Copies of this chain bind each other. A is one copy, B any other.
Amino acid sequence: MNGQTAFPVPGVRLGIAAAGIKYAERDDLLLIELAEGGSCAGVFTRNAFCAAPVQLAKRHLQAGAPRYLLVNSGNANAGTGVQGMTDALRSCALVAQATGCEASQTLPFSTGVIGENLPMACFEAAIPKAQADLDENGWQRASRAIMTTDTRPKLISRQFQLDGETITVTGIAKGAGMIRPDMATMLAYLATDLAVQPALLQQCLEQAVHPSFNSISVDGDTSTNDACMLLASGVSPHAGVTDADSPAFNSLCEVVSEVCMELARELVRDAEGATKLVEILVSDAADEAEARQVAYTIAHSPLVKTALFASDPNWGRILAAVGRAGLQDLDIERIEIWLDDVCIVRDGERASDYTEEAGQRVMDQQEITIAVRLGRGAVESRVLTCDLSYDYVKINAEYRT
């Protein structure tokens, strides 16, 4: 991803600083500035223990007119009670001081260890530095500043033509562990220079998040700090989007969805300890809920995940996961299971033409699709996941993230 071109988004500037929150001399504070009059959309974790910054970001988003997003890595400010909210409010006040905006115009975001108070002295010193650093070309450094156990930054940038104008959509994200987003995933920020009416921007983001960030799972653990934000600066000469039925809105949604999907894939590829990217496609379902239920049951099965790590075509474990997914009146004789183009189960038993060699060939790949046909309807759903390796255990047993 390092070679990914980051098209700057006119009307959006990024400032980065090394605040020393967890590690010394590492960029860990990011300030994103949105041009006056721009709009902002966001989706947030559904974890009941949502962190103080998430609560405050939601409130400030409701208040309208957001101008700044403040992001720190190294400390999640979650499970910190009253002090956590005081610190989050104070961080917004510090941005107001440095920029001249209102405190309620800043949305705060934090990622890192749960249950420790924010080191506010670090914020006091670093926020003015980040403000002084604001630049439209800050995306690459920003993508690194928000990392925790990520091994590489995630940045996707696209341009498209709209009524003769070049429009940009650039996005960054961080992931690694505690990933089973239930609304959006931990810290993804996208921006465009197109003018978009706020309700439509929110609609565009929600549509894009469902099949991307909300359809990935590393370990089934939904973070307390998930958030995905989409900014629209409106600085483009284009007249902007005010109608959900317009071609302009469709074009924007398409590109935002693509950027979200690519970022989501990058999150799974760089998940803690992951060696494989696995797509679970459940089709012929009666409704989306049951398709996702089966997909997530497979995606969360430690036995399936360790078999994937071992490149072992141990399809009995996939079959057992489908069987325990809790679907009422599941007719196992109608079920098919495929590894890429190899049918392993047909009519509820091993396909007669299946060979271990064919299964092995697919399992040896770095990217694998497990497809399950339920034979109950016409709905399909996809979930992206990864394998479970020694390194996942190592990373989560040895380090407190």
Which residues of A pack against B, CB within 8 Å?
46-50, 76, 78-84, 113-115, 177-178, 180, 182, 219-224, 300-303, 306-307, 309-310, 312, 314-317, 319-325, 327, 330, 332, 345, 347-350, 388-390, 392-394, 396-398, 400
Contact = CB atoms under 8 A, between A and B. Distances in A.
Contacts of A312: 397, 400
A309 B321 CA distance: 25
B113 A78 contact: no
A49 B79 contact: no
Contacts of A347: 81
A222 B82 contact: no
18 contacts: A47-B320, A49-B323, A79-B349, A81-B350, A82-B349, A115-B319, A178-B317, A182-B324, A224-B320, A300-B300, A302-B396, A303-B396, A307-B396, A307-B397, A310-B396, A314-B400, A389-B393, A390-B390
Contacts of A307: 396-397
B306 A392 contact: yes
A323 to B, nearest CB: 3
Given A78-B319, A79-B316, A81-B347, 14 more contacts: A49-B320, A49-B348, A81-B349, A82-B349, A84-B349, A177-B303, A178-B303, A224-B319, A300-B300, A302-B388, A306-B392, A306-B393, A307-B397, A393-B393
Nearest to A117: B350
Nearest to A78: B316
Contacts of A301: 219-221
Contacts of A322: 48-49
Given A76-B316, A349-B82, A303 B221 contact: yes
A78 B317 CA distance: 11
A314 B350 CA distance: 43
A22 B322 CA distance: 26
B219 A320 contact: no
Q: Which of A79, A312, A390, A398 has the most CB of B within 10 A?
A: A79
Given A332-B48, A396-B307, A320 B220 contact: no
Contacts of A310: 396-398
In the complex, the 10 A-B pairs of residues with the closest C-beta atoms, listed nearest first? A114-B316, A81-B349, A49-B323, A310-B397, A306-B396, A222-B324, A47-B323, A48-B330, A48-B323, A219-B302
Contacts of A224: 316, 319-320, 323
Contacts of A115: 315-316, 319, 350
A314 to B, nearest CB: 5
